[in-house]
Structure 1
Amino acid sequence: MPAPVSRRSFNKIIFSAPLLFTASGFSAGAAEVNDDGLHVQPWFMETFLDLAEDKAEVEAEGKHFAVLFEQRGCPYCREMHEVNFARDEISNYVQSNFGILQLNMWGSREVTDFDGEALEERDLARKWNVNFTPTIVFLRKGGAGTMPQIEVLRMPGYFKPFHFVSMFEYVAEEKYQGSEGFQRYLQEKFQRYEAEGKKPDVW
């Protein structure tokens, strides 16, 4: 199983690749903000915050489960919503293949972890070693287990749209089960785009 992307690997992926996006191709409009000051999408999951139950429910629909940590005043969280999720191609792909549960990195709602422990959102973030926002934790599809056994990949910060949707594709295609790491997957995807004469800002 590939190891979660580290902060150092994250920086290497982002800054070693060409700038792939221009201002064109983005949908207009800003994301809504909830009472906690978090930007939200109408298709995010609303649940009783029992993670094992949430994962099972999502997988019963044939989708993958991911947990998204954000915090009030996070400029990169806002960027993710107002740039990445504002693109119909991205939001439609994510909605079709994933159930996304949004948690507040400093929140006080009670969450039941996969091991049965009930704790506040902020304590879960600490337990899962979430240090940046946004952070997306992708969970293995199928079977039971506890963290970190079922974590297959982690997005530790803001990714540009091409890299962002590519990580969702990597997980949806379950490439993590093989020997191909995410960075290699990303490079090969970009090479395919070039070979097919596609503009890299297609996403």
Structure 2
Amino acid sequence: MSDLRRRDWFLRAGVLLGATSAWAQSGAAATLPAAQSLPDELSQALKNKHPLIVMVSLDGCGFCHRARQSHLSPMQRAGTPIVQVDMRNPQPVLDFAGKLTTHDQLTRLWKVSITPTLLFFGPGGKEVAERMEGAYQPDFYGPYLEDRIAQGRKAL
């Protein structure tokens, strides 16, 4: 292999690896922690005088990915208490009463049929703000989200 072809191969491999790395990082940036113990997660949120935000998501939902990537993941990394519950997922979770259930059973209990849906919980696992259901215009998602958070804080 000539030096020119070898250099071209390494250059292309480096670009491919860089693109793969950037893609992986952008996917990682669009994740939220899965709900595991709603009583503990709610308690931590309330200590910070904030409602617990639960995003109900569905695997493969493009609108869910966009909401996580543009708003929810950055907010969660900045300290806003947000967890994710996955529709149709048998992952175990403790509900607000401390009973073992699954993510899917929670979505049915909460009567969620559209993803993404954001729920805002306060003391006793009661909803303290209007739900955000489905996709919103990207330019308005942030203001609607901030409004719901303000409603939830006021209700605390």
TM-score bracket, normalised by the shorter chain, equals 0.5 to 0.7
- Matches of residues 84-123 of structure 1 in structure 2 within 5 Å? 84-85=70-71, 92=74, 95-96=77-78, 98-123=80-105
Instruction: Say what the alpha-carbon RMSD is for the aligned residues.
Output: 3.0
Give the structure-1-normalised TM-score: 0.54
Match of 1:166, SS? helix
Spell out, residue by residue over 1:33-78, the C-alpha distance to the aligned partner (whole angstroms, 9 max, x if none): 6xxxxx843xx3366x111110111222343311111112212223
Structure 1 CA distance for aligned equivalents of residues 146 and 87 of structure 2: 25
Per the alignment, residue 172 of structure 1 pairs with 149
Structure 1 stretches of 4+ with a deviation exceeding 6 A read none
Q: Give the residue type in structure 1 aligned to 2:90.
A: S
Q: How many residues align?
A: 133
Indicate whether 1:57 and 2:34 are aligned. no
**1:138 alignment partner, one of 120, 131, 155:** 120
Q: Give the residue type in structure 2 aligned to 1:32.
A: G
Give the structure-2-normalised TM-score: 0.68
Runs of 5+ consecutive residues of structure 2 not aligned to the other structure = 1-21
Indicate whether 1:45 and 2:33 are aligned. yes
Tell me which of the two structures has the higher relative contact order, counting C-alpha pairs closer than 8 angstroms and 6 or more residues apart: 1
Rg: which structure is higher?
2
Structure 2 CA distance for aligned equivalents of residues 172 and 151 of structure 1: 9
Structure 1 CA distance for aligned equivalents of residues 76 and 64 of structure 2: 16
Structure 2 CA distance for aligned equivalents of residues 97 and 122 of structure 1: 26
Structure 2 CA distance for aligned equivalents of residues 72 and 115 of structure 1: 26
Percent of residue pairs identical:
21
Relative to structure 1, is the Cα distance of residues 76 and 96 closer, same or farther in structure 2, using a 3 angstrom cutoff? same
